[in-house]
Amino acid sequence: MDTVSTAIGAVRDCGVPDLQIVVVDDASTVGTADLLKGPLGAEVDIVVHDLLNMGREVLKAGIKMAKGFHIIFKDTYLEYSPNEYSVLIDSLRKSGADAAYRPRVLGRGLFEVGPFWQLMVNGFLTLVSNFFTGYRITDMQTSSKLFPSEFLKSVEFEEN
C-alpha cells in the first residue's frame, strides 16, 4: 500500500502542469481501494474493476477516463522516475511522432539495467523485433510509454 501512495506522490510531483492521475484498481489484494478511500483518493481519478488483472479491460478503463492530450502508462513500481515525463512530452511534440518511449537501456549504465544476460537478451529481442517489423526501436523493453490520447482512444484492443 505504501508503494501506491509513493508512486502517486512521485507522479504528482513530477513537474508536468495540469496532470491528471488515473488509478485503475484491478481488484488486487494490496489494499489500493482502501487507500484511495482516504485523502489520497481526492488527488486521483479512480477506476475499480471486479476481477484481478483484466488486461485490456483495465487499460481501456484508464484510457476512457483520461481527459488530457497525452497518456503515460505507469505501474506502481518506481524503477523509472516520473521526472522524465516532461522529456517524453517535449520529444513527442517536437518530432510529431505517434508515440514516445523511454528506453530502459540506452544511456544507462550496465549496473542500472540489471544482470549482463538480461542486457544481452534484451538486445537480441530488440534486433529480432526490428528485423521483422522494419522499425528502428532502440530498446524493445521500454520503461515509460507516451501516446496522444486521441490515438489511444481510437484503438480497438483485441488481446487480453
Q: What is the pLDDT of residue 52?
A: 55
pLDDT digits (tens, 9 = 90+) for 101-129: 776 665 554 444 456 777 788 788 888 98
How much is the pLDDT for 32? 79
C-alpha cell at 142: 521500454
pLDDT for residue 109: 45
Q: Where are the domains of the chain?
A: 2-104+141-154
Q: Report residue 70: phi and psi, to 5°.
A: -130, 155
Length of the chain: 160
Under-50 pLDDT residues of the chain: 109-113
CATH topology for the 2-104+141-154 domain: Spore Coat Polysaccharide Biosynthesis Protein SpsA; Chain A (3.90.550)
C-beta of residue 67 within 8 angstroms of C-beta of residue 141: no
What pLDDT is recorded for position 110?
40
